[in-house]
A and B are shown apart, each in its own frame.
Chain A
Amino acid sequence: MPVSITLTVNGKTTALTVEPNTLLVDAIRQHLSLTGTHVGCDTSQCGACVVHLDGVSVKSCTTLAVQADGRSVVTIEGLAAPDGTLHPMQAAFKEHHGLQCGFCTPGMVMSAVDLARVNPDATPDEIRHWLEGNICRCTGYHNIVKAVESGLQAMKTGASAQAAE
């Protein structure tokens, strides 16, 4: 039986009717037409589908839409400022050429942003370990690690600037 749920996605609250077995990623991609969140595997390994659920990174391919009922979801589309200015982590990926085909990128960026919450001073080794659940076939990770290092730094600077205001 279809069930009604309410999601707050990228700040906007939406009521949806989904099947009990509808995955969060399908709710995001199919019901809400937010196609920036990708599906790259069927075993919860690749991380292309990572979004934030109440501020914590999750793989939306292994989360049921009903589990997100009443909660806040942020997808890659919700990361940049309303005027289009890139989030510091997005900007760092561009600056350091941390993406090629772009398919793993949304999940990679969402995971990297969550690292700032868990370990804002992560070393390159810790960054590599954190990204173990995000597979990229293009970049060889070298530039992704550089981008995340720089993005974490920029997020800290941004946060302290905000605190000073």
Chain B
Amino acid sequence: MSKTTGIGASVKRVEDYRFLTGRGRYTDDMNRPGQCHAYIVRSPHAHARILSIDTSATVAAPGVLTVLTGADMVADNIGSLPCGWLIHSRDGTPMKEPKHLPIAADKVRHVGDQVAVVIAETLQQAKDAAELLEIEYEELPAVVAPGSVETAGTAVHDEAPDNVCYDWVWGGKDKTDAAFAQAAHVTTLDLVNTRLVPNAMEPRAAVGEYDPGMDEYTLTTTSQNPQLIRLLLCGFTMGLPEHKVRVVAPDVGGGFGSKIYHYAEEVIVVYAARRLKRPVKWTAERSESFLSDAHGRDHLTHVELAMDASGIFLGMRVNTTANMGAYLSTFSSCIPTILYATLLSGQYKTPAIHAEVKAVFTNTVPVDAYRGAGRPEACYLIERIVDVAAREMGIDRAELRRRNFITPEMMPYDTPVGLQYDSGNFARNLEDALALIDYDGFPARRAESAARGKRRGIGFASYIEACGIAPSNVAGALGARAGLYDSAEVRFHPTGSVSVMVGVHSHGQGHETTFAQIVSERLGVPMDKIEIVHGDSAKTPFGMGTYGSRSLAVGGMAMMKAIDKVIAKSKKIAAHLLEASAEDIEQDGGVFRVAGTDKSVDIAAIAGAAYVPHNYPLDELEPGLDEQAFYDPKNFTFPNGTQICEVEVDPDTGVVKIVRFAAVDDFGRVINPMIVEGQVHGGLVQGIGQALLEHAIYDEDSGQLLTGSFMDYAMPRADDVPDFEVKTNEVLCTTNALGVKGCGEAGTIGGAACVMNAVCDALDIGHMDMPASPERVWRVIRDSRFGMAAE
């Protein structure tokens, strides 16, 4: 019988009741006494100088309290939105880091850039008054296509006349050149990793409050990392003293990376609240989300793979242009570098790899981490070129992967791009996925499809990613400007219930359940007596929040350390209560026993003794049972797996239908299989979305976002995607005591590559760029029928 509680059990989620009954508390659900409303006026131009802003009619409109512009913020010394990672170019110069003011003061640099904010008693009044604002712009030519920024003839920022932010290299050039010199075959590929809009279902929102009596600020915001937002608000943008600032991220409706960053609107509502001495609320409309949430991906890549005659990989070269958009978002600079090029070894023992990455500015929305962040981009190019190589070499695609896999015996394995993989059995994941999808039966299924006039294809992606970015000192040496540890406090209450305050944040991941499962198992406390508290800087210790599948591997480990401290202290209290030596106390869940006897005491009684210390070793121990820990990981963790997908293409319409999908993943130890499967499903659909549907498109002349709503940007819907068969292979992580690797991004890491490999197989072509929409697929089929080159 499967477990019903504790680690490894599919415990139903603690948080569901409030969400299912409409009692979730999201930022826009909060309304403060005296609250007023901010409406942000955004640039209609991709690139323009602001010549003048006439606010006179706006401030005179009904209900208007104030109009704020960039000039006001400059006058009040409001700082630039910072970038959290410093990358150096190959010539040793630091990346170009232009200012990013919360409201543009001189120029606007993308459609949607903040120009002014109108604050009124009601949102409708603010919107109406914003219509009266007279802004004079001098339009400038826009830099839009990332591939031609250097010859665009105009600069997004004066500091970067060629629009290049940095020109970075990684890996071994000489070794890679030598490998290519020996190659029997070189496969080359040019590909586009499309720009995506994360589109968490809850639009961003922020409420700023200022208490003049206490000189205290509260920001409620849709963030994945409220403590980090407080740090940036205090240390950079607003310059406030941290002890006077509370940042709360309550229930947050999805993030996928887009809610990591410190956004202009967070500064605007806090600044306006201080000026007006009233709570100020802002909530994005979806069209604003499209124009102001950081986008994802947007790479142009040339890749070359050198092989010997039997298909053994000898070396790989990668050249990528990464679009940063108009400004450097909080973590933008590390995505196409540290989180991308370090993963270019994939699951393969490629001995020599060299990567060149040029990051460029364009007059588009800033680009930053989106689910997977750098790693899906790495996986996409690796898994695509492996398929193209197999096609060119006439080797079965599964077989080519097998020949090149890093084996379990090689662990720990040092890649040529700077990582040390601790564990994994890549071949087993592949074989299990082949069995799940019935690979041997594929030719018959393909023939059956062909008999119905359909083209069937199968594709794999054998992915690896790096989660729980770490350790802090190594990250710091690579340019990180923040630590990457996390924290937890385990607080036993006098009557035996437990509050656990964690520095990570849950916005769909179910931490209130999974973290409680660990506490319950380790401390023997029933689930209904455990509360996991997150998302409030006034309640939790300083932590770095949730992204990069770090919550369990880093935050969970901090909690384990705090639990260990509770156990250590409890043993001493138990020893006193049982009149034994602490060394003789054995702990099993909530029971503390003198070894070899039936003398025991439970943890509730220990907590009682700790808080009512009448019978207590006061000269040796402090009262109370409340322990805090910080944890800085020793290494990244490396989730890995193989995804396989089968598609059927209708050659008359170009419609691609996913007919089967199997995923076998190694996430290390699984705490809650039900939640892990849900994470895989959701991640896969974001990968499928990129492969078949989603694409953020800018008009290359005007810089207008052509896909600025759910009417134009194709989000995956229920009838676009299949059921999934998923399985986990637990190979415990060797670098953390929980043995966990992380599961939040896995589906998205391989999903797009897997689907595109199947599409290309179905179409019998080497490559086509995403998305494989009906029109584009139909064109490929038409071109191949009439002997034209496929795109």
A binding-site residues for B, Cβ under 8 Å:
19, 29, 33-43, 45-46, 48, 75-77, 79-80, 84, 86, 90, 93-95, 97, 99-106, 109, 124-125, 127-129, 131-132, 134-145
Which of A19, A34, A100 interacts with B254 by CB under 8 Å? A100
Residues from chain A with Cβ under 8 Å of B716 in the complex: 141
Among B199, B674, B681, the one with the most A-chain Cβ atoms within 10 Å of its Cβ is B681
Among A37, A100, A103, A105, the one with the most B-chain Cβ atoms within 10 Å of its Cβ is A100
Q: Does B171 contact A (CB under 8 A)?
A: no
Q: Could you list 15 A-B pairs, sorted by A, with CB under 8 Å?
A: A37-B22, A42-B709, A46-B286, A48-B201, A97-B678, A102-B16, A102-B19, A102-B251, A103-B24, A137-B682, A140-B680, A140-B685, A141-B681, A141-B718, A141-B721
Which of A36, A104, A109, A131 interacts with B201 by CB under 8 Å? A104
With A138-B508, A139-B681 as contacts: A144 and B718 at CB distance below 8 Å: yes
Cα separation A105 to B15 with both chains bound (whole Å): 12
With A131-B718, A135-B715, A137-B256 as contacts: A142 and B508 at CB distance below 8 Å: no
Cα separation A35 to B30 with both chains bound (whole Å): 9
**Who on chain B is nearest to A103 by CB?**
B253
Which of B15, B674, B715, B721 interacts with A102 by CB under 8 Å? B15
Supply 13 further A-B pairs (C-beta < 8 A) apart from A137-B199, A142-B723: A39-B28, A40-B203, A42-B286, A77-B23, A86-B17, A97-B674, A97-B678, A99-B19, A101-B202, A102-B24, A131-B719, A140-B683, A141-B681
Cα separation A131 to B715 with both chains bound (whole Å): 13
**Who on chain B is nearest to A126 by CB?**
B719
| Least distance between B292 CB and chain A CB atoms (Å) | 14
Cα separation A142 to B715 with both chains bound (whole Å): 16
Cα separation A94 to B684 with both chains bound (whole Å): 21
Which of A42, A125, A129, A135 interacts with B285 by CB under 8 Å? A42
Cα separation A95 to B756 with both chains bound (whole Å): 34
| Least distance between B119 CB and chain A CB atoms (Å) | 18
With A131-B717, A135-B715 as contacts: A99 and B20 at CB distance below 8 Å: yes
With A75-B22, A109-B20 as contacts: A139 and B678 at CB distance below 8 Å: yes
CB within 8 Å of A: which B720-753 residues: 721, 723-724, 747
| Least distance between A50 CB and chain B CB atoms (Å) | 12
Residues from chain B with Cβ under 8 Å of A127 in the complex: 718
Query: What 8 pairs across the A-B complex have the smallest Cβ distances?
Result: A36-B22, A102-B19, A103-B253, A101-B508, A140-B681, A100-B508, A45-B710, A140-B685
Cα separation A48 to B203 with both chains bound (whole Å): 11
Contact B681 A101 (CB under 8 A): no
Contact A40 B683 (CB under 8 A): no
Among A105, A125, A127, A141, the one with the most B-chain Cβ atoms within 10 Å of its Cβ is A141
Contact B16 A99 (CB under 8 A): yes
Cα separation A154 to B674 with both chains bound (whole Å): 21
**Who on chain A is nearest to B723 by CB?**
A142
Cα separation A140 to B270 with both chains bound (whole Å): 36
The SS class assigned to the B binding surface is: loop
Contact B201 A46 (CB under 8 A): yes
Cα separation A102 to B22 with both chains bound (whole Å): 9
Q: Does B789 contact A (CB under 8 A)?
A: no
Cα separation A38 to B28 with both chains bound (whole Å): 9
Cα separation A136 to B719 with both chains bound (whole Å): 12
Q: Does B26 contact A (CB under 8 A)?
A: yes
**Who on chain B is nearest to A78 by CB?**
B22
Which of B124, B254, B677, B717 interacts with A101 by CB under 8 Å? B254
Residues from chain B with Cβ under 8 Å of A79 in the complex: 21
Cα separation A99 to B724 with both chains bound (whole Å): 16
Cα separation A34 to B305 with both chains bound (whole Å): 58
Q: Does B509 contact A (CB under 8 A)?
A: yes
Q: Does B307 contact A (CB under 8 A)?
A: no
Cα separation A45 to B18 with both chains bound (whole Å): 24
| Least distance between B732 CB and chain A CB atoms (Å) | 24
Contact B718 A93 (CB under 8 A): no
Q: Does B29 contact A (CB under 8 A)?
A: yes
Contact B22 A94 (CB under 8 A): no
With A35-B29, A41-B710 as contacts: A128 and B718 at CB distance below 8 Å: yes
Residues from chain B with Cβ under 8 Å of A86 in the complex: 17, 20-21
With A94-B12, A101-B200, A101-B252 as contacts: A43 and B17 at CB distance below 8 Å: no
Residues from chain B with Cβ under 8 Å of A103 in the complex: 24, 26, 200-202, 253-254
CB within 8 Å of A: which B28-59 residues: 28-29, 31
Residues from chain A with Cβ under 8 Å of B724 in the complex: 140, 142
Residues from chain B with Cβ under 8 Å of A40 in the complex: 201-203, 253, 286
Cα separation A17 to B684 with both chains bound (whole Å): 46
Contact A100 B510 (CB under 8 A): yes
Q: Does B287 contact A (CB under 8 A)?
A: yes
Q: Does B711 contact A (CB under 8 A)?
A: yes
Contact B12 A95 (CB under 8 A): yes
Cα separation A134 to B19 with both chains bound (whole Å): 16
Cα separation A84 to B287 with both chains bound (whole Å): 37
Contact B16 A94 (CB under 8 A): yes
Residues from chain B with Cβ under 8 Å of A29 in the complex: 29
With A36-B22, A102-B251, A127-B718 as contacts: A43 and B200 at CB distance below 8 Å: no
Contact A105 B20 (CB under 8 A): yes
Q: Does B534 contact A (CB under 8 A)?
A: no
Residues from chain B with Cβ under 8 Å of A95 in the complex: 12
Cα separation A75 to B21 with both chains bound (whole Å): 9
Residues from chain A with Cβ under 8 Å of B721 in the complex: 140-142
**Who on chain A is nearest to B24 by CB?**
A102
| Least distance between B96 CB and chain A CB atoms (Å) | 33
Q: Does B481 contact A (CB under 8 A)?
A: no
Residues from chain A with Cβ under 8 Å of B203 in the complex: 39-40
Q: Does B675 contact A (CB under 8 A)?
A: yes
Q: Does B110 contact A (CB under 8 A)?
A: no
**Who on chain B is nearest to A104 by CB?**
B201
Which of B201, B682, B683 interacts with A135 by CB under 8 Å? B201
Residues from chain B with Cβ under 8 Å of A144 in the complex: 718
Residues from chain B with Cβ under 8 Å of A43 in the complex: 286-287, 709-711
| Least distance between B509 CB and chain A CB atoms (Å) | 7
Cα separation A41 to B289 with both chains bound (whole Å): 9
Cα separation A143 to B287 with both chains bound (whole Å): 29
Contact B710 A36 (CB under 8 A): no
Contact A135 B254 (CB under 8 A): no
With A46-B710, A135-B201 as contacts: A105 and B13 at CB distance below 8 Å: no
Residues from chain B with Cβ under 8 Å of A97 in the complex: 12-13, 674-675, 677-678
Contact A94 B711 (CB under 8 A): no
Contact B678 A42 (CB under 8 A): no
Residues from chain A with Cβ under 8 Å of B349 in the complex: none
Q: Does B507 contact A (CB under 8 A)?
A: yes
**Who on chain B is nearest to A106 by CB?**
B22
Cα separation A127 to B715 with both chains bound (whole Å): 18
Question: When each residue 1-16 of chain B gets 1 if its CB lies under 8 Å from chain A and 0 otherwise, what string results?
Answer: 0000000000011011
**Who on chain A is nearest to B198 by CB?**
A137
Contact B29 A100 (CB under 8 A): no
CB within 8 Å of A: which B504-542 residues: 507-510
**Who on chain B is nearest to A142 by CB?**
B681
Cα separation A62 to B92 with both chains bound (whole Å): 56
Residues from chain A with Cβ under 8 Å of B717 in the complex: 131-132, 135, 141
Residues from chain A with Cβ under 8 Å of B20 in the complex: 76, 80, 86, 90, 93-94, 99, 102, 105, 109
| Least distance between B689 CB and chain A CB atoms (Å) | 9
Residues from chain A with Cβ under 8 Å of B507 in the complex: 101
Cα separation A41 to B711 with both chains bound (whole Å): 10
Residues from chain A with Cβ under 8 Å of B124 in the complex: 19
| Least distance between B656 CB and chain A CB atoms (Å) | 16
Among B24, B25, B28, B683, the one with the most A-chain Cβ atoms within 10 Å of its Cβ is B24
Residues from chain A with Cβ under 8 Å of B24 in the complex: 36, 102-103
